Structure 1
Amino acid sequence: MFAVFSIGSLFAVSAQLQLRILMMALLAFLLIEPRTLSSASYILILALTTGAAFAPRYFSSRLLRAPRWALHILGVLTAACISAMLITNSVIATVAALLSGFYIGAALSRKLAMADARLLAWGDDGLVGVTRDLLLGRITSGMLHDLAQPLNVISMANGNLGYIAEHLPIDEDTRRQLVDRTDRIAEHTQTAAAILSVFRWFGCDGSDQPADLTVRSALERATTATRSNVRHHDVAVELHGNGLDYLLPSRHGCLELIAVAALLCAFASFTAPDGTRRRGRVLLHATQTPAHITISVHCVDMEGAAVSGRSMDYATTWLIEQVAQEADGDFQSISRRNQPERFVIRLGRDDI
């Protein structure tokens, strides 16, 4: 039991090198002592080690997504199986005890790892960078309010200036230049106000136009929020599918958060390790199922070929998975080569 707990823990933290070393050691001992072939426990431990050593990373994340109450029930069943194994020496009880022990060891290690604050220390700055981002998000709402006031003053002053320019006794060429300048100021002021509105409602189930809270609007707001990212240049974002016009009032903010994380990672796929950028497209395809709204994210170049890239970091993946679970859905990061599909977002429908 201690062995399968340890193997499960190594599987949860993706320690595949250690698992492969352990697998080789178990195989070597099997060759040295052939009598171990008659031990069901030994063979099962070897099989679990081999499977854990070569299982893909996303399989671990999906397998260990059990609710807390399920682990409690599994713990009771494991204790019962251990008792039956010791009393009856049953092979079935032994197999059940070892399998459940492996899962419990993996699940507990994953939950402890997620509770460890060091998991959030991605990037070169570690926890300092994470703390800065969290606090910056909290003070942004007040900063946006302070920025809105100067924009209102500029907009009003520009309107007065345009009115004055139209009634000044000046030649038409000078008047045209003044009007053109006031029009440009008005255009850029409206653009700044639109950006402030995006960040004001970012990740929230609200908008200046609540009736338009659809899948399309969430994806468009996510695209607008990430447009200033340097990796967005030369990458077009296209929306497709019959689920774009589905109303999503209570899960609009969740979809926007998940889409922003997926887009940022997708944009990074078009940047080579040497810093050179390639042109391409990120396709967001939204479809409806009887119970869910599904959005698949594809990365392709200008010719339509798949663009591969690095997977999303584990910390962000876990956070986004929790947001998706709160919305009765799930989030999957796909790292298969030569496949354009990179992410799958699934949210529960509001109308069922």
Structure 2
Amino acid sequence: MAPTETPDPRAGLLDTIRARRVGIEAYVRRKAPVSRRLSTVSILSSAVIVALMAGPALGGPTFAERVQDGLSLDASQPVWQVLCSAALVVSMTAAVSAHLEKTSDLRARVGAAEAAGVMLAGLQARLEYGGLPVQEAAQEYRDVLAGIPFVPEAQGGTTSPAGRREHGPAVQLTVVVLAALLLAVTFVGLFRGAAAEPGGEDTGAAPTASEVPAPTPAPSPGPTSATPSPPAAATQGVFGGETRDGGASLAIVIDADRAMAYVCDGRQFEAWLTGSVVDGRLQLSSPSGASLTGAFGNGAISGELRTPTSSTPFTATVAAEPAGVYEARIPVDGSQARIGWAVLPDGSQVGVLAVGDTRRGAPTLDLADLTFEHDGRLFTAWRAGP
């Protein structure tokens, strides 16, 4: 009767070590990219949040209006909604990525698995070639495994982990592209709006003052003694007047089917509005949310001025020069100031000087040569039109 072959403990332990090393290598291949992706997404998302928060600080109070002008949007409110929503989504992405990386402790686990793989490789070599006793090798093997309980044993194939890895780079690329697109759109709009600001010809793209709920009444000019004839079909001309409550004065300039208006109280309230003239009706708006609607009749325009918090009727009568809207851009305390004047039919003028979010009365404009003084220096304004 043939003798029974006794299993070789050394060979069996070597096979076990080899299989375990395969499992460790598969784990490292699968988890190391995940850890890097989570770190990348977290860092990139945090950078995007900082950029979005820095936008208003760098762009000043007109940041949203500059972005809106640069992207040719209708109002500044959607810009803030988009930026706030984007910041919320990116912030949540950064928080979730950081939380996943911290709770799973992938970086530490991958490092422990790599170290265990190196120790098992050394154990295998000493067991196979160095004559290490099997019992001692088995104990060392158990000690190594005790440090990586999270690494599963090698399964019958490695195609499944590889299949799972294919989605990781796509997700990371998607996050990077979306973040880059968001920043690009925001800052392209900001730079385009800022570049258009100094020109002075495009009054619609210039920064507008913040409207106040109820403008403080200012001294208003008395009624004119003589009213010029209205322009033919009201296709071109200047109109001037005030709101019914006397709180603000306005001048409207019409050129064919386009129109612009400047409204202010001479102290803290102002609005620059532009729009169209269709069938004898005006429809004007400002980037900050003010609107002006009106209709022609008997040599005047009657309508309503609305701000986000109030509305008031107005009447503006046809006027001859020098009535109209005048504008200037000057440096004030290291910043660019925008000055607007509404010159009324009787020749009186009301204006506001705006620097950032500060408003005050405008200096007196010499209507003969359109010059004015500020801080001892002489500047020149220009007549604005639609």
Shorter-chain TM-score range: under 0.3
**Greater CA radius of gyration, 1 or 2?**
2
TM-score normalised by the chain length of structure 2 = 0.23
The structure with higher relative contact order (CA 8 Å, sep 6+) is 2
TM-score normalised by the chain length of structure 1 = 0.24
| Structure with the largest fraction of strand | 2
| Structure with the largest fraction of helix | 1
